Chain A
Amino acid sequence: QSALTQPASVSGSPGQSTTISCAGTSSDVGGYKYVSWYQQHPGMAPKLIIYDVNNRPPGISYRFSGSKSGNTASLTISGLQSEDEADYYCSSYTSSSASVVFGGGTKLTVL
């Protein structure tokens, strides 16, 4: 299955907001609520920050929010902080193979 499409990089200044997009198809992002987002710092395992499009797990800052419109999901990080600098991956259930597909990842730089 094809990976979901994310921008390779985004950046923002401390305190600003930034949005990362995740484009898929009606067989994955557009067809189901099973979109999740992960944050990964170098050398660490991924960390779940959003599940089911717009839900935050316990302990995840309110500064992280998710949404979806059509076949594209988005992750918005508000009030950027230096510790937000990391790689971010979207993921979705895909009916084309009854499995999971990840986006290519987006590197967030906090200027």
Chain B
Amino acid sequence: QVHLVQSGAEVRKPGASVKVSCTASGYTFTTYYIHWVRQAPGQGLEWMGMINPSGPRTIYAQKFQGRVTITRDTSTSTVYMELTSLRSEDTAVYYCARDSSGWFVFWGQGTLVTVAS
């Protein structure tokens, strides 16, 4: 069955960068887009961007343009999300999710990124 397994929790200082991974299994990796969605503590879901693993075409939310980069490694069926110039407001759980024509059935378990000095 389909699984998306994310890397573990990270702690970073303001101004640093973080790179979170999402390894897919149970399906053909290049068939479905992968999206990144984040959720700050007590807040709602926020779409960050997506990648076509066969492309690798990417689209980013305007809010994160210039700070986020989504890449993929087809040899390991892994998608990466790197966020730079971190600030305290970036403290959140980051999820990867597999696209199925605009909706997400399969989600990773989430990765908590904490930004604190």
Contacts and interface: CB of A to CB of B under 8 A. Distances in A.
Interface of A: 1, 3, 32, 34, 36, 38, 40, 45-46, 48, 51-52, 57, 87, 89, 91-93, 97-105
Interface string B76-104: 00000000000000000001000011111
Contacts of B47: 91, 99-102
B104 A36 contact: yes
A89 B103 contact: no
B5 to A, nearest CB: 12
Given A1-B61, A100-B35, A102-B44, A45 B103 contact: no
Contacts of B105: 48, 57
B103 A34 contact: yes
User: Chain A's interface: helix, strand, loop or mixed, by majority?
Assistant: strand
Most B Cβ at <10 Å: residue of A57, A87, A98, A99: A99
A89 B44 contact: yes
B44 A3 contact: yes
Q: How many B residues touch the partner, as a band?
A: 20 to 34
Interface string B29-49: 000000101000000111101
B28 interface: no
Contacts of B107: 45-46
Contacts of A3: 44
A45 B59 contact: no
A103 B103 contact: no
Given A38-B45, A89-B44, A89-B45, A1 B62 contact: yes
Nearest to A102: B45
B45 A105 contact: yes
